[in-house]
Every structure is written in structure tokens, then in C-alpha cells.
Structure 1
Amino acid sequence: MSKHSKLMNFLSGMPDFVFDYIEIAYNGESINTQIGYSIDIKTFLKYLQKFNFSYIEKIEDFTVADMEKVTLRDLNAFTAYLKEYETDTVSIDGKHIKRIRRNSAYGINRKLSGIRGLFSYLYKNDLISQNVTDKLDFKKLHQKMKRPLTSQETVNLLDVIYNGEKYYTGRDLTEYKNRKKRDIALFTAYLGTGCRVSELINLDIRDVCFDTSSFVVTRKGGDEQEIFMPVQVENELFTYMQERVENEKAKDDALFISRLGTRMTAQGVEKVLKKYCATVGIYDPDKARPHALRRTFACNLIADGIDIKMVAELMGHKNIEVTHKYYTQYAIEKRKEVMQNFDITGNR
């Protein structure tokens, strides 16, 4: 079953106003995003059904009139409930599987964000008289500092991607050789353009144009943007494309494909990257995720003196405050450099 079919199947058991909200508010967003928010809203409705609206037999029976009855107290109680709760699902063979779910402050805020979005949608479309979620307080988050790859880590990572023959033997070596050109093209494109993993894996062959040295990606929100390629990225993509178009296993027009011939997934990209990182001793989990390469791209631009507005444009950020986070990470390295060269005697 495709992800879109999975989403439609999931929404078929939801109230009509939820179906409309997901279809309209998240039009242009990835299917994974739509599925995620749909699950969060279902969790909320099941909570209401259990503790506040016991007369409602099925989730799809909820109406906008029921949403009108939700109070701030209900929302605060739901927030507390999200810390730890039990779910009951039915397996294919009809067995009930109970699990304990726990959420961090980040996970709770993500779920509340979907609920607030739903109420905002209903209020703006005059389906409810007030948006009670405006009074809802989100959990305070203590941001963990996520660093970019250092120059040496980047060199080491590229070395194993380009020269895996020095690192692998046996079956690992065979697998590496089979995906070598793809991985070189994929990860140089990542480090050389700063695109999101979703933007790269959703590329089709036709999206790449060597005449203009660019490819077109669909950014968050559905806007398209032309991405211009550095020479190294263009060269590696060109080399890979010759292999890609001749691949008889390919089942669609996806640019980056798995060994089965299907479009690569974000999970697949992360799995491959983690293996390369482990090979060269990069064990920090934040640095072994695809977003670390995007973070590294941004910090390198800032270190090269590129104006932060241009960095925001290249990163596809609509809010420049998001880009400022990368500047903060770059500033940490500059502070380190200043302090390492500081002489406590005052000698210059």
C-alpha cells in the first residue's frame, strides 16, 4: 500500500472536518507530515471520547459541535495525559496489543501543534465560535545544542564515501560498490546544496538540468525552488545519472533509488549515512543524521562570510530566525578560536 493510500485509509475513519483540515491545511506538505498530524488528532479525539464524550461510539461520529464544547481544562488535562498513556491496537489476526506511550516535551508540543492547527482551521472557517487553544500553554523546551560536522569529520566522511574499498571487505564491500556512485552523488548534493532529505529523495530524473547546472526541488509548503549546483555536485550527479538511466531495476522516475529499484526513503538515507559515520568514528547521533549535513552546509556558508539573508534563501527558510540558529552554532566556534588565542598576561 502506498503512503497516500495509507493516509486516505486512515482518514476514512476520521470525522469529515478532520479530513478537510488535513487536505486543505497541509496541502503541499509531505505525506509523512499529513499522516503524523492525523495520528496526533486521532489520539486527541480518542482521549475526548474516553474521558469527556463517552456517548460518542466511534471517532468518525465527532462533529464540530463537539469541538465547540472542548474547554481549556480539557486541553490541559490532555497535555498531562500525553506524558504517559496506554494504547490498544488490533493486529491482523485480531489480537489486542496494549502499549505504553511516552512523550517528551518536544513530542507533547508537536501533538498540541496539530490540535491548535485544527481549532484554528475550524475557527477561521466559522465552524466554531472561539479558538480555545489560543489560551493553551506549550511546554518549555530546553534546546540541545546540535553541532555541524567539523572540517576533519567532513573530510573523513567523504573519504569513506569515495574510497570505501579501503574500509570494507566481503559482503560490506560488495554492497558499497553497488551503491557507490549513488551515495557519492547523494551526499555531495547534500553537503553541496544543503537541501532537506525529503527534497533530495523526491527528485525525479527530469528535475535535473545540466544545461543550467541546477535542479528543482519542492520546498516545505509546496513552493518550487531552483537549486544551483557547485561543480563537484554537478560532476558527481552527471556520473551517477549515466548509471541510473541504465538501471533496469528502476520502477519509477526517481533520481535516487534503492537496491530494489524503488525511490529511496528518508529512513534509508539515514541508515546508509549512519554506517558511513560509524566506519570513520562519528558516533554523535546528531551528527550521524542527514540533517547534520544540512547544518554543516549552512555553517560553512556563514563561515565564508555569506550574508545571512542569502543563507536563508539558499536553505529555503521563510523565517530568517531559523537561519540565526546556524549563525549561533558558527559563533560558538569563533568564541572557541578567540579564547584559545587569548593571553591572560595581556601580551598581544
Structure 2
Amino acid sequence: MSTYHESLKNKETLRLREIQKELPPFLIEFFRGIAQTTSTKTRLGYAYDLRIFFRYLYEEHKTLGGMEAKDLEVQHLNEISSDDIDCFMEYLSYYVRPDYENPENSTELHNDEKGKSRKLAAVRSMFKFFYKKKKVDANPATIVETPKIHDKQIVRLDVNEMADFLDAVESGEKLTDRQKTFHERTKKRDLAITTLLLGTGMRVSECVGINIKDIDFKNNAIKIVRKGGNEVFLYFGDEVQEALQDYLEERQQAITKEEGDDALFLSSQGKRITVRAVQKMVKKYALGVTIKNISPHKLRSTFGTNLYQETGDIYLVADTLGHADVNTTRKHYAEIEDQRRRKAASHVKLRKD
């Protein structure tokens, strides 16, 4: 694993330890117990979500209300019913995150079905762990219905929009006067990033983690670290190769702020570019091209759509995008599959013309 990913994992580990201090002490056993089967990022997500759950209990629960998290013991979980968890789901629709030092800075928060499902998964995982350990009498979270997540139509660039988008990145014509002053310095980098995202379908987090040494131009391959820490090679075409090589001539002359940093994509400050910076950059160029809300993830969807339309191989798309379950891929591209089935029907003749 690269130094960048090790550093990111270490930061997540430290953050997880900080959040655990705000949670009931018995959860230390839970996080230690799932460490071998989950990533640090997953455990950190559970910690954030469980912090909200125990804050809800403090504010609303009939018997645990008013009890500080540090005073809770694992036996207290037996006082939580499925009705309590249902009420927690309702609570997530609207709640206020307090700022005890500055009450006026308290934040109003809302969760959609996806956010609620994620938090329910954290609660379920916690109860499942302690029920398996026979430290609680039941697992009430198992009978709580998962919120129905309504499928959204995939937002992606069509062929003409994709060409216009890359033209906009290269020329800078659609930018404001202020943005154009920076464009000349960043256009080769920006074109390399956007071409790479559109040409491989990699996640933006995978993109920013690439080091120069990860590129193999002999095989037109690039090594990335997937979610979960697995290293894989993605292959790219001539357009991506050209954009990367053009940028690399410029990158080799750059001075990095962090000694020995081999980061492929740098910010204007000479540091590894961040996910947030790439998100803002993509949105900046897309605004002048389409009314669609385009993000790096939408560029990933564009690649997946193009690959599926060209090959019809859902397993290839799933593997290239790094989906652990092909059903995830199939769900996203169901609309295209339906179009293909309709097209297939038109080729079947029951009677001669």
C-alpha cells in the first residue's frame, strides 16, 4: 500500500479513537471485534452513526434518557426495543446537532432513506455483535424495516456532452474571467484528471491516491487502491495515455511541498490534490456545458454506461468499476438493459414480411 493510503488510514484510525471517547466504553470491544472483517473507513462510519444513535437515546429514550454515554453498560442495550429503533429512524428525518460551547452554532440535519439505512446498518451490526457474544438477550434491530430507497435515474454525459466537456476543460472558454487566470496553469492537469476519470471509471478517491510510479505506459495500465485496500490495475486507451503524458512533462518540473511525495496530481500549492478539489474542478467545467449536475461520480457513471453499451457485458462493467456485487451494477444499468431487451424484440420476426 502506498504512503498516501497508509497516511489516510492512520488519520482515520486516530479519528476513530477520538470518536470512541464519546461513545459507551463497551463499544471498544465491538470495534475491536469487527476490525478483521471491516475497513477502518467502515468502522469510522459506524462510529459516527452510533454517536447519533446514543445521542438520540440521551435525548429521547424513556429509561436511558439523560444518561451520559460514558455511564452506559452493555446490559443497557436490553432496554432498547424495536419500537425505540423505529422512533430513531423517525428522529433522523430532522434533528439538531448541538454545539454546547456555542449553542447558536447548532446545526439542523436531515437524513434521506439512504442516510437512514446506513445508520440502521450500524445499529444492526452493534446488536448482532453483542447478541452473538451472548451479552444481550435479543437483537431488536433485525425486525426494523430498512427504509425503501427509491432508485434515481443515472445522471451521465451523453456522447456530445462528453466531447463538449473535454473541450471546455482544454480551452477554458466557458470559464469566468477570474477562472481563466488560473486555467493556463492547470489545464493539462485538469484535462488529464477528467480524461482519466472518463476513460477508466475509477473513483475520485482512487484517482487522487495515484503516484507517478503507479503508471505503466508499456501496458497502458495504472495501479489503484480500491475500497478495502485491494490493489488492482486498470487499463486505458490512447486518449488517456496522451493526456497523462502531456501532463507528466509538466508534472516532472513541479516542486512538491512534501519531500519525497510521488503524487501524480498536485494542487496549485504543490501538495497532493484532494477529493474535494477534484469535485469542485469537475463542477466548474460542467457548468458551461450542461444543465445536469455533474460530479466525478457522474463521470464514472458515464464510463460505465459507455462500456456496457459497447460490450453488453454486465460482469465486465462490475469488475472494471470495482463493484463487489454484480447486482449493484445491474441495478444501476437496468434502464439500459431494458432498452437492449426492447431492441432484441424488434429483431424477432414471427411471420415473413
Q: TM-score range by the shorter chain?
A: 0.7 to 0.9
The verdict on how the C-alpha distance between 1:306 and 1:338 changes in structure 2, with shifts beyond 3 A counting, is: closer
Match of 1:204 in 2: 211
Q: Secondary structure at the match of 1:279?
A: coil
Instruction: Provide the rounded CA distance (Å) in 2 between the counterparts of 1:212 and 1:147.
Output: 32
TM-score between both structures, scaled by the size of structure 2: 0.83
Match of 2:187 in 1: 180
Q: How does 1:307-322 map to 2 (within 5 A)?
A: 307-322=313-328
TM-score between both structures, scaled by the size of structure 1: 0.84
Instruction: Provide the rounded CA distance (Å) in 1 between the counterparts of 2:86 and 2:51.
Output: 17
Instruction: Provide the rounded CA distance (Å) in 2 between the counterparts of 1:100 and 1:120.
Output: 31
Q: Secondary structure at the match of 1:195?
A: coil
1:276 deviates by 0.5
Instruction: Provide the rounded CA distance (Å) in 2 between the counterparts of 1:257 and 1:26.
Output: 33
Match of 2:236 in 1: 229
Picking from 257, 265, 274, the partner of 2:274 is 265
Instruction: Provide the rounded CA distance (Å) in 1 between the counterparts of 2:326 and 2:287.
Output: 33
The verdict on how the C-alpha distance between 1:214 and 1:60 changes in structure 2, with shifts beyond 3 A counting, is: farther
Q: Is the contact made by 1:67 and 1:128 (CA closer than 8 Å) also made in structure 2? A: yes
The verdict on how the C-alpha distance between 1:153 and 1:140 changes in structure 2, with shifts beyond 3 A counting, is: same
1:98 deviates by 2.9
1:330 deviates by 2.2
Q: Is the contact made by 1:299 and 1:329 (CA closer than 8 Å) also made in structure 2? A: no
1:95 deviates by 5.2
The verdict on how the C-alpha distance between 1:209 and 1:8 changes in structure 2, with shifts beyond 3 A counting, is: farther
Instruction: Provide the rounded CA distance (Å) in 1 between the counterparts of 2:28 and 2:269.
Output: 33
Instruction: Provide the rounded CA distance (Å) in 2 between the counterparts of 1:297 and 1:246.
Output: 31
Match of 1:117 in 2: 125
Amino acid at match of 1:189: L
1:248 deviates by 1.2
Asked if residue 189 in structure 1 is aligned to residue 199 in structure 2, the reply is no
Q: Secondary structure at the match of 2:141?
A: helix
Instruction: Provide the rounded CA distance (Å) in 2 between the counterparts of 1:30 and 1:152.
Output: 40
Amino acid at match of 1:88: P
Asked if residue 278 in structure 1 is aligned to residue 284 in structure 2, the reply is no
Q: Secondary structure at the match of 2:108?
A: strand
Runs of 5+ unmatched residues, structure 1: 342-347
Instruction: Provide the rounded CA distance (Å) in 1 between the counterparts of 2:213 and 2:27.
Output: 35
Identity %: 30
Asked if residue 158 in structure 1 is aligned to residue 159 in structure 2, the reply is no
Runs of 5+ unmatched residues, structure 2: 1-7, 347-352
Match of 1:304 in 2: 310
1:159 deviates by 0.7
Q: Is the contact made by 1:192 and 1:229 (CA closer than 8 Å) also made in structure 2? A: yes
Amino acid at match of 1:232: E
1:325 deviates by 2.6
Amino acid at match of 1:175: F
Picking from 98, 113, 129, the partner of 1:105 is 113
Deviations 1:3-44 (A, max 9, x none): 53444322333234434545664777474x554432211010
Corresponding residue pairs, total? 336
Asked if residue 49 in structure 1 is aligned to residue 58 in structure 2, the reply is yes
Instruction: Provide the rounded CA distance (Å) in 1 between the counterparts of 2:203 and 2:189.
Output: 17
Q: Secondary structure at the match of 1:100?
A: strand
Q: Is the contact made by 2:22 and 2:51 (CA closer than 8 Å) also made in structure 1? A: no
Match of 1:345 in 2: none
Amino acid at match of 2:141: T
Q: Is the contact made by 2:188 and 2:246 (CA closer than 8 Å) also made in structure 1? A: yes
1:162 deviates by 1.9
Instruction: Provide the rounded CA distance (Å) in 1 between the counterparts of 2:133 and 2:267.
Output: 43
1:335 deviates by 8.2
Match of 2:4 in 1: none
1:57 deviates by 4.4
1:224 deviates by 1.9
Match of 1:245 in 2: 252
Deviations 1:260-318 (A, max 9, x none): 223322222111111111112x1222xx1111111111111111124211111111111
Alpha-carbon RMSD across the aligned residues, in angstroms, is: 3.1
Picking from 76, 81, 95, the partner of 1:66 is 76
Asked if residue 327 in structure 1 is aligned to residue 333 in structure 2, the reply is yes
Instruction: Provide the rounded CA distance (Å) in 2 between the counterparts of 1:22 and 1:204.
Output: 31
Instruction: Provide the rounded CA distance (Å) in 1 between the counterparts of 2:132 and 2:184.
Output: 55
Match of 1:293 in 2: 299
Q: Is the contact made by 2:282 and 2:295 (CA closer than 8 Å) also made in structure 1? A: yes
Moved more, 155-164 or 112-121: 112-121
Instruction: Provide the rounded CA distance (Å) in 2 between the counterparts of 1:256 and 1:124.
Output: 46
1:337 deviates by 8.1
Q: Secondary structure at the match of 1:227?
A: strand
Instruction: Provide the rounded CA distance (Å) in 1 between the counterparts of 2:175 and 2:109.
Output: 39
Q: Is the contact made by 1:147 and 1:329 (CA closer than 8 Å) also made in structure 2? A: no
The verdict on how the C-alpha distance between 1:61 and 1:318 changes in structure 2, with shifts beyond 3 A counting, is: same
Q: Is the contact made by 1:257 and 1:264 (CA closer than 8 Å) also made in structure 2? A: yes
Amino acid at match of 2:235: F
Deviations 1:66-102 (A, max 9, x none): 22332112111111111122221135xx555333322
Q: Secondary structure at the match of 2:271?
A: coil
